[in-house]
Structure formats: C-alpha cells, structure tokens
Amino acid sequence: MKETLGSIRAHLDKLCNQVGNRHVGSSGNRAATDYFVEVTRQLGFDSACSPFDCMEWEPGQARLQAGDKLWDVTSSPYSLPCDVAASLIEISTDEALRNAPELDGKIVLLHGQIAEEQIMPKEFVFYNPDRHKKIVATLESKRPAAIIAATGKCPGIAGSVYPFPMFEDGAFDIPSVVMKDVDGAQLTQHAGEIVQLTSTSRRIPATACNPVASCGPKDGPRILLTAHIDAKKNTPGALDNATGVAVLLAIAEHLQGFVPSLRIEFVAFNGEDYYAAPGQMLYLAQLGSRMDEVELAINLDCAGYAGSQTEYSLYNADDATEQLVRTAFESHHSFQEGSPWFQSDHAMFAMAGRPAVAVTSSNFAWLCQEITHTPKDNLDLVHAETLVRTAASLAQLVQQIAA
C-alpha cells in the first residue's frame, strides 16, 4: 500500500503542480498526455497518443459601458472578439427571442429564464436538447453583433463557476461575454440605449492527443478503464480529474505483468471539459463498429474527496458482472453504491447499451455545485489513501473478469 500511495501522490503532484493548466490545446495538456504515455510504457503496456486538431484560446480583456458605468463582464470561452457600439436589446425568454423582430447589428442581453442553463455546443453529440439547438439557430439567423449573457450557476453542466458561461463553443461565431445575473437585472434599465462592448478574446489553432495504453489480445472483447485527463482553464483540476488519472496509473501498476484473456485498455480521454469532446470522438471513431466488443467500461471522475465515501453506480450490467463489482467494492467500508448519473465519459458507453461502472465521490453533486471548474479544486481536497483502495479494488475486479 505504501508503494502505491507514493505513486499516486507523485502522479497527482505531476498533474496538478508541475505540468500547469491541462485545458485542451495547452502546453500543460500536452505534458500531461506525454506523462501518461511515458508511465504506462515504463510499466510494459503498449501505449500510443492519437493526435487531433483543437483550439486553444486566450480570454483577453472585456469591457462593457452602459450609461456612465463600466460593468463587470468576461469573455465567453472560445468566443470571437468584438468592438461594437450598438443598441441594447434585452431578452428573457425563448419566446421573446423567437419573436424579436430585428437583432441584426444589435447587442443582445440574454437574462432570466432563457439564460438559466448552459447551451450545449453545436458539435457536442452526446447531449444536445432541441431547445438549445433552437436558441443557437435563432441567434445565428437573427445575427446580433454580440451577446451579453447574465447567468447564475448551472452545476449539472458548468460546475461551480459563477457566473457560468452560457456559450462555451468554438463553433459558435457570435461574440459573447458573461456577467452575473444580479448585474444583468440592473443592465435591463439600459435597454434601447447605445452601449459599448469590447472583447479581445482570441482563438488559437492547436493540436493535442488522446492517450491509450493496452495489454492483452489485439482484437476482440475488451475492458476499458477511463478517466479524462484534461481540465478547465485556470483550475488545478485535482478532483476533476487528476485523481481519476492517478487511479488509472495505479491500476496499471497493479496489473504490471498480468496476462489477461481479454484486451485491457486504459484511456485517458482528452476533452471531457472541452466544448467538442475531441478525444472521445476520436476514440469512438477508432472503435467504429466494434462497440459491442466493450465487455465493461469503468470510468473515474471526481473520486477521492477527503471525508467522503467512494461511490459506484452500474449501467447495463448482467447479474454476474454486478456481483463481481459489488464484491470488489464491498470488501471496504469506504465504498457505497449510488444512483446513476451521466455527466462523464461512462455515459457514451451506457447510452450505447454497453455495461459500465462509474466511480466518483459520494458528494459529487456538492462538488459540482461548489468546487469543480474553479481554482478551489486543488490537492488539499484529495484523500490519497482513498484512491489507493479504489485502485486496488478495481485492479482486483479487472483481474477477476480478464483472468
């Protein structure tokens, strides 16, 4: 246990303290994926990193003047820049947006009901409600010069960020900024007036890669062990999701020299916290029609919060697999079974009908509300000994299935 504990602490230190921000397209992200490949290769696994094009971005500075006041706004992630003086139009409902007669060249303030949740990116295929698509299509057809989104919190999608970015989409080309909902309520007093909005945000073409380490047969049934390696910009991403990656590497250490009857793949998905999920899309494209070969997908996200239990949930598993999973976890009092949730990478396998297990902290909902996607998500919140037990339990489970 001491050896595994030391390894996990070293992995966490590397990912959270040494490589820098791990957002997709950044140098820290590339250092993190290189590290995953290096460690798994040293453990004897067949490791590779499939490249893809992506977008880095710099938020720059944002400035809004309405009346005689400067308002606190920030550029939306991946937004195009703008420098526009135009009439302010306030819109608070979907119906008001549909019925707005003329938005071309105007600055639109979205607030209230229409801005209660983050709009899913255009290229995000796993979850994209028709309502979101209609809002985006309507805005694109009405062509405002820029958008001001006045928002609160949206923990289910945007984590604990306040105000959350209503638009976080490199494929959406209307410049946008975000402000607090309480400020937006005051800004409505300037509807119809000319306001000045400037944003110097910048999109930067970049590349990244999706790392996969494997052992066992080259083809046929496989067990997937997954955790996303990227993080939001300007957060250490300790629980979201350096802990998951550290557990993957610890499991690989446990399985060093194991000769499985099934293919075992460790996938450090690169893009769960990026608007287009590029690593996930690349892996699914490479998997192609062989989704049925996935015997079990085990995904870790936000595991290891100090003071909480480790919670697992099951999806599409047959009775035998359920029993193996429960036996592996119930040998320790610090694990509990929880309800299904879908805000991570196990969802794409569960939605395809494949057996899956999701592993997280028992206070996952609170972490989304208060911690994730912010600078507060640091190593002070992590209980490394919990991750040691999680890695040991999952390694035992994999060995039982793939013996």
Which helix (H) or strand (E) segment holds residue 372: the answer is none
**Looking at the predicted structure, is the pLDDT value of residue 2 above 70?**
no
- Same domain for 355 and 293, yes or no, is yes
- Same domain for 172 and 237, yes or no, is no
How many structural domains are present in the chain? Answer: 2
**Looking at the predicted structure, is the pLDDT value of residue 360 above 80?**
yes
- Same domain for 240 and 345, yes or no, is yes
Six-digit token string for 243? 């802990």
- Same domain for 66 and 47, yes or no, is no
- Same domain for 385 and 252, yes or no, is yes
- Give me the mean pLDDT over the 227-232 stretch: 98
Which helix (H) or strand (E) segment holds residue 161: the answer is none
Name the domain boundary from 143, 169, 200.
200
| Helix 243-254 with 2-13: angle, nearest 10 deg | 140
On average, the pLDDT of the chain sits at 96
For the stretch 58-75, pLDDT in tens is 999 999 999 999 999 999
Q: What percent of the chain has pLDDT over 70?
A: 99
Task: Say which CATH number the domain at 132 has.
Answer: 3.50.30.30
Give the Å distances, CA to CA, from 339 to 31, 45, 196, 357, 360: 35, 33, 48, 11, 11
Six-digit token string for 78? 């991946």
Phi, psi of 336 (to 5 degrees): -145, 150
Give the Å distances, CA to CA, from 34 to 22, 28, 116, 221, 223: 12, 10, 38, 27, 23
- Same domain for 50 and 69, yes or no, is no
- Same domain for 261 and 385, yes or no, is yes
Supply the pLDDT for residue 104.
96
Cα gap 313→1, rounded to integer Å? 25
pTM (predicted TM-score): 0.95
How does residue 1 score in pLDDT terms, banded at 50, 70 and 90? low
In this structure, the chain runs to a length of 403
Select the more confidently predicted residue: 245 or 328: 245
**Looking at the predicted structure, is the pLDDT value of residue 332 above 80?**
no
Question: How far is C-alpha 291 from the chain's CA centre?
Answer: 22
Give the Å distances, CA to CA, from 33 to 47, 286, 301, 307: 11, 18, 17, 29
Alpha helices in 143-200 (DSSP H): 155-158, 181-187
For the stretch 267-309, pLDDT in tens is 999 999 999 999 999 999 999 999 999 999 999 999 999 989 9
Phi, psi of 71 (to 5 degrees): -105, 150
- Same domain for 155 and 179, yes or no, is yes
Name the domain boundary from 185, 200, 215.
200
Q: What percent of the chain has pLDDT over 90?
A: 94
Cα gap 22→107, rounded to integer Å? 33
Name the domain boundary from 146, 180, 200.
200
- Same domain for 46 and 108, yes or no, is no
- Give me the mean pLDDT over the 345-363 stretch: 97
Task: Name the β-bridge partners of 178.
Answer: 74, 149
Supply the pLDDT for residue 92.
98
Phi, psi of 172 (to 5 degrees): -105, 115
Exposed, middle or buried by CB within 10 Å (0-12, 13-18, 19+), for 101? Answer: exposed
Supply the pLDDT for residue 3.
76
Supply the pLDDT for residue 157.
85
**Looking at the predicted structure, is the pLDDT value of residue 334 above 90?**
no
Supply the pLDDT for residue 331.
73
Strands 310-315 and 356-361: antiparallel
> 3-state class of 39 per DSSP?
helix
Supply the pLDDT for residue 53.
97
Neighbour order of strands in the sheet with 202-215: 46-58, 202-215, 263-267, 222-226, 294-300, 356-361, 310-315, 335-337
Cα gap 7→384, rounded to integer Å? 10
Task: Say which CATH number the domain at 395 has.
Answer: 3.40.630.10
DSSP type of residue 201: -
Cα gap 336→28, rounded to integer Å? 34
Cα gap 22→242, rounded to integer Å? 10
- Same domain for 196 and 219, yes or no, is no
Cα gap 335→308, rounded to integer Å? 9
Phi, psi of 31 (to 5 degrees): -65, -40
- Same domain for 210 and 243, yes or no, is yes
Range of the domain at 371: 2-56+206-402
Supply the pLDDT for residue 159.
87
Select the more confidently predicted residue: 3 or 18: 18
How does residue 158 score in pLDDT terms, banded at 50, 70 and 90? confident
DSSP annotation string for 79-146: PPPEEEEEEEEEE-SHHHHHH-S--TTPEEEE-GGGGSSPBPPTT--S---HHHHHHHHHHHHH--SE
- Same domain for 398 and 250, yes or no, is yes
